[in-house]
A and B are shown apart, each in its own frame.
Chain A
Amino acid sequence: MIHELTIHEARDRLVAGEFTAVELAEAVLERILAVDNLVKAYLTLTPEDVLAQARAADERRAAGENEPLLGIPLAIKDVLCTKGVPTTCGSRILERFVPPYDATAVARLKAAGALLLGKTNNDEFAMGSSTENSAFFTTHNPWDLDRVPGGSSGGSAAAVVADECLGALGTDTGGSVRQPASLCGIVGLKPTYGRVSRYGLVAYASSLDQVGVLTKDVTDAALLLRCIAGHDPRDSTSWDVPVPDYAAGLTGDVRGVRVGVPKEYFVAGMQPEVEAAVRAAVDVLAGLGAAVAEVSLPHTDYALPVYYLIAPAEASANLARYDGVRYSLRVTSGGLGEMYTATRGQGFGPEVKRRIMLGTYALSAGYYDAYYLKAQKVRTLIKADFDAAFEEVDVIVAPTSPTTAFRIGEKADDPLQMYLSDVLTLSMNLAGNCGLSLPCGFDEAGLPVGLQVMGPALGEEQVLRVAYAYEQATEWHLKRPSIRA
């Protein structure tokens, strides 16, 4: 079944002429038709457009073109702008927003020949860890439909593992690529802050947001990153440094690579099967010749409060633009001021309002120093922890999430419990480093466990190299769920 292929497998077979881009697109669309009523990964599908793009890709290939993603069907998280295709951010307040332009990451995928299948579900404005905060519906984990796929890029992660696309874009502000990748048993890569342009990414927390990729294996993550990374004059926070050929560094050889295991990441309340799977993965890396050592990231415990002060503070400013004047929804009631408050009160969902309230409070007169400034200072210490650790080791490995996928509804009424599911991913965003999650086992209920591999700023090559070596030494990445109602 060709919809089950990875990007690199499909590309090789398209090049060899074993099937056409139209046949591949039809197979994936058929798969979506068969399972998405159960998984509910997509908010918007553009099937006619996909087939038109596929026909064009076949014509281009016949004319001798061979872009790296020519004819490969991908999915896009609904917080990234897509020209002429609705971009709702999972919010009522943008329900009818149709961007007049493509995000740079999307434009670069198109330029590399990719076909866009549609937009995937996410927690509203990327705020959440389960997709339950989407204003439209919850996405279901293909391994167990009663469980969440993780979030906020849960639609992208579920679509990848359910073979409803060959790969997908997500975004990661506090773990929103890595955590759903972990809960769905796929690869999710969060690049270094500044590595990928954020032009056209609807802003949540601007000092933390980064575009990432969700794929079926490490090679695909390397291929997609190569296509989307690099300087963009439209994003002044994008880094102007060369983009390496990430796939070329995937040798399977990790002899002598220094791998650190942070003792603070094996937290109280961690599911024992998660710890066991990650410890076993460390043993595999040691067996491959990596030099494993314990490291310490002493301020790990403070990452959660720091994140949930800084991110909501930035969000409260970024989301001020949704006022009923320029985008989509307007709720009229009296004059201009009433229009603002009514539009925002009705247009935003509960978690978005909670974070706007929290951020507004943290920035308000009398509390700024005690909360926001304090958080920014502790952020300095968290970054210094990583800088010191990366003096001693090349990568750090740890669990991605303290548990496997939880049940839909289980944490929905307790925001603090929900926030704790990001406790192992937040620090890296605060430090601006890069990292990925890849599958490293299953719990007794048959749910995937994720291994997080973290690197320093612009350390994607060593992260991918270690992840690839582990992946090739194991078979977890080959497992797929059988989706049953």
Chain B
Amino acid sequence: MKLSRKEVQHIAELARLALSDEEQALYQEQLSAILDYFERLREIDTETISPTATVLPLRGVMRDDVTQPPFPRDDILANAPDSEDGCFQVPAVLE
């Protein structure tokens, strides 16, 4: 199945990825080829099969509601590109 350029742009927008024209063209071609290969899944009748989201037999694991010391704030902010007054700093959301 062939993805259109518009579909590629829409997916990139959903994924918040800035793509160049060359990248859009490349992914249009490569993703179409990959999706073609995936068509073989249609051969299998899965009408009565339940999906597997995890193979673990564990469900709803809980722990005791006991507080623990958090990471020091400065250690976390040390990896931020920008911070101020103990907060992550980002460009203006609204003009």
Contacts and interface: CB of A to CB of B under 8 A. Distances in A.
Interface residues of A, number: 70
Nearest to B40: A305
B67 interface: no
A208 to B, nearest CB: 9
A354 to B, nearest CB: 6
Interface string B21-56: 001001100110111011011101010011111111
Given A233-B63, A305-B38, A358 B31 contact: yes
B56 A432 contact: yes
Contact of B58 (A239, A329, A356): A239
A353 B19 contact: yes
Contacts of B76: 100, 326
Given A207-B55, A335-B92, A345 B19 contact: yes
A438 interface: no
Given A324-B90, A416-B37, 18 more contacts: A100-B79, A101-B71, A194-B58, A207-B55, A236-B61, A324-B81, A326-B76, A330-B81, A330-B82, A339-B91, A344-B16, A345-B17, A356-B15, A360-B15, A374-B42, A376-B52, A376-B53, A415-B34
Contacts of A233: 63
A321 B7 CA distance: 24
Contacts of B54: 207, 237
The 10 closest A-B pairs by CB, nearest first: A345-B18, A432-B55, A376-B51, A330-B81, A100-B75, A377-B46, A236-B61, A341-B18, A305-B38, A360-B15
A357 B12 contact: yes
A101 B71 CA distance: 9
Nearest to A365: B14
A100 B55 CA distance: 31
A265 interface: no
A333 B27 CA distance: 24
Contacts of B46: 374, 377-378, 381
Query: Which secondary structure characterizes the binding site on chain A?
Result: helix
A357 B41 contact: no
A415 B31 CA distance: 9
B24 to A, nearest CB: 10
Contact of A316 (B15, B35, B90): B15
Query: Which secondary structure characterizes the binding site on chain B?
Result: loop
A237 B59 CA distance: 9
A297 interface: no
A353 to B, nearest CB: 6
Interface in A220-246: 233, 236-237, 239
B27 A354 contact: yes
Contact of B31 (A207, A337, A361, A457): A361
A379 interface: yes
A199 interface: no
A340 interface: yes
A54 to B, nearest CB: 27
B90 A207 contact: no
A216 interface: no
Given A346-B18, A360-B15, A383 B8 contact: no
5 contacts: A302-B40, A332-B91, A340-B16, A348-B17, A357-B27
Contact of B88 (A325, A332, A430): A325
A19 interface: no
Interface string A432-468: 1000000000000000000000000100000000000
B56 A415 contact: no
Given A378-B44, A457-B55, A336 B93 contact: yes
A308 B79 contact: no
Nearest to A419: B34
A379 B38 contact: no
Given A336-B93, A376-B52, A380-B50, A306 B41 contact: yes
Interface string A270-287: 000000000000000000
Contacts of B8: 357
A334 B31 CA distance: 30
Contacts of B3: 361
Given A207-B54, A334-B91, A383-B55, A305 B12 contact: no
Nearest to B18: A345
Interface in A103-162: none
Interface string A295-330: 000010110111011000000100010011111111
Contact of B38 (A335, A354, A371): A371
Contacts of B40: 301-302, 305
B58 to A, nearest CB: 7
Nearest to A341: B18
Contact of B79 (A327, A350, A371, A383): A327
Given A306-B41, A416-B33, A380 B17 contact: no
A327 B82 CA distance: 10
B35 to A, nearest CB: 8
Contacts of B19: 345, 353
